[in-house]
Amino acid sequence: MSLTRQILIAMTAAIVLGGLTQQILLIPGLNSVLHYVLNDLLTQGVFLLGGKLFVASLKLLVVPLVFVSLVCGVCHLRDQSSLGWLSLKTIVLYLATTGLAISLALLLASWWQPGAGVHMALDGSYQPPKPTPLIDVLAGIFPSNPIQAMAQGNMLQVIVFALLIGVAVGRSGDHGARIGAHFSDWNEVLMKLVTLLMNFAPYGVFCLLFTLFAQQGIGKVGDLAIYMLTVVAALLLHGLLVYPLLLKLLSGLSPVPFLLKMRNAQLFAFSTASSTATVPVTLRTVEQRLGVQNRVAAFAVPLGATINMDGTAIMQGVATVFIAQAFQLDLSMTDYLLVVLTAMLASIGTAGVPGVGLVTLALVLQQVGLPLEGIALIIGVDRILDMIRTAVNITGDAMVSVVVARSEGALNDDTYFNLRAGEQE
Ligand code: ASP
């Protein structure tokens, strides 16, 4: 059975069994032994531990893999001056797709009016989280201590350090060639580790989703049904229509292999709700299944996981309209433009970990003068949306990687079109 199918079965089983467990735990006067087994032993015990270990096993690979793979990609570039152009192209595409995503979200939200009929008054009881000011995010790109950057998992700093080392290795003649060969070997070894760890995904995904659904379920939807529906519709439109169209338009490639091969990575992103934790899987998919050469993938994927959050921007767009309507505040055309701009910037400042999109939503709301208390309205249903938007986030990273690779002559067409390439049983 393919890994994708195994993960899908595990997911379905976890959602059904987790949901059932939650319902059983709600029964008043439940037998204390049954309560202990379901709650303490399974939900808060074995499965919680399993889920934590699974996410840790992915995260453990992120920093070494990004560093090694990027040094490897850069030092083997024949023409290092192309690096600037490649970076510029990637960043511009990331920003453009985020701009499209947020515009789509705003259009859909203004049409479906998710907050109409929801009446909220401010009571000042909610303390909104404080996002890091954008200027600090940008200023923090350059590392002063690479070991610290790695220890803290500061992805942008690790990327900058790897780029610098890669350039230096590439220019160091025989010394560089020896080091470069070591990095290539390490890259192979780490990729093998990703493949090995991915085999545990069905168990890991089961544990993660069981705990989630046994503990919180989907939460009270009520007034938020249309909000959720709008976010999900915009996410699906962007992921299943806009990306394939862009891929076709910008690279001339059929989007079918892309969509089929992205499924595993999307399932990882969905289960972990973290683009960063999914980096090893996205990188493996982009290189070994879609045929993007390491010199593009190693740069574009981790950068995308850090600065390209189209799904998050979609949630922020719909949430902004929803909150404005719920508090009966009007948004002008200028406000909409400001939302597009700030959501693009907020997407850069959003770390690829669960729930951060809601924190950086504060930046957008602040910009258009909406009450930050609005975040409290949607927090209850955010987790499930976070899972879907993370899957969209990483799909965007992969799509841009393929487009950039094709334009740079760094895409292996045979691998791209071979549906079994890099497949894992
Ligand atoms: N969980 C998202 C990600 O990792 C970020 C967010 O929207 O909260 O991509």
DSSP states of 45-84: IIHHHHHHHHHHHHHHHHHHHHHHHHHHHHHT-S-TTHHH
Ligand 1: atom nearest CA of 276 is 4
Lowest mean pLDDT across 14-18, 27-31, 169-173, 417-421 = 27-31
Mean pLDDT of 300-321: 95
Instruction: Give the domains, in start order, of the chain with CATH numbers.
Output: 3-417 (1.10.3860.10)
pLDDT range class, residue 126, cuts 50, 70, 90: low
pLDDT range class, residue 217, cuts 50, 70, 90: low
**Cα(355) to centroid(ligand 1), Å:** 6
Mean pLDDT of 168-184: 93
pLDDT of residue 133: 76
Backbone angles phi and psi of 411, in degrees to 5: -120, 130
Mean pLDDT of 242-256: 97
Q: Is the pLDDT of residue 111 over 90?
A: yes
Closest residue CA from atom 6 of ligand 1: 357
Ligand 1 pocket test: pick from 58, 266, 310, 312 the residue with the most ligand atoms within 8 Å of its Cβ. 312
| Polymer length in residues for the chain | 425
pTM value? 0.91
**Cα(382) to centroid(ligand 1), Å:** 11
How many other CB atoms are there within 10 angstroms of residue 97's CB atom?
25
Closest residue CA from atom 3 of ligand 1: 352
What residues are in contact with ligand 1 under a 6 Å CB criterion?
273-275, 309, 312, 350, 352-357, 386, 389-390, 393
Ligand 1: atom nearest CA of 277 is 4
**Cα(273) to centroid(ligand 1), Å:** 6
pLDDT of residue 264: 93
Task: Give the Cα separation of 17 and 11 in Å (integer).
Answer: 10
Q: Is the pLDDT of residue 125 over 80?
A: no
Ligand 1: atom nearest CA of 274 is 4
pLDDT of residue 218: 58
Task: Give the Cα separation of 245 and 255 in Å (integer).
Answer: 8
**Cα(365) to centroid(ligand 1), Å:** 18
**Cα(31) to centroid(ligand 1), Å:** 39
pLDDT range class, residue 79, cuts 50, 70, 90: confident
Q: Is there a contact between 342 and 131 (Cβ–Cβ < 8 Å)?
A: no
Task: Give the Cα separation of 379 and 310 in Å (integer).
Answer: 19
Q: Is the pLDDT of residue 128 over 70?
A: no
Mean pLDDT of 355-379: 88
Ligand 1 pocket test: pick from 94, 364, 386 the residue with the most ligand atoms within 8 Å of its Cβ. 386
> Which residues 6+ apart lie within 8 Å of 263 measured at CB?
4
CA 162 to chain centre: 22
Q: Is there a contact between 312 and 95 (Cβ–Cβ < 8 Å)?
A: no
In the block, residue with structure tokens 């859909």: 108
> Per-residue b/e over 180-216, b at no fewer than 16 CB within 10 Å?
beebbebbeebbebbbebbeebbbbbbbbbbbbbbee
**Cα(147) to centroid(ligand 1), Å:** 25
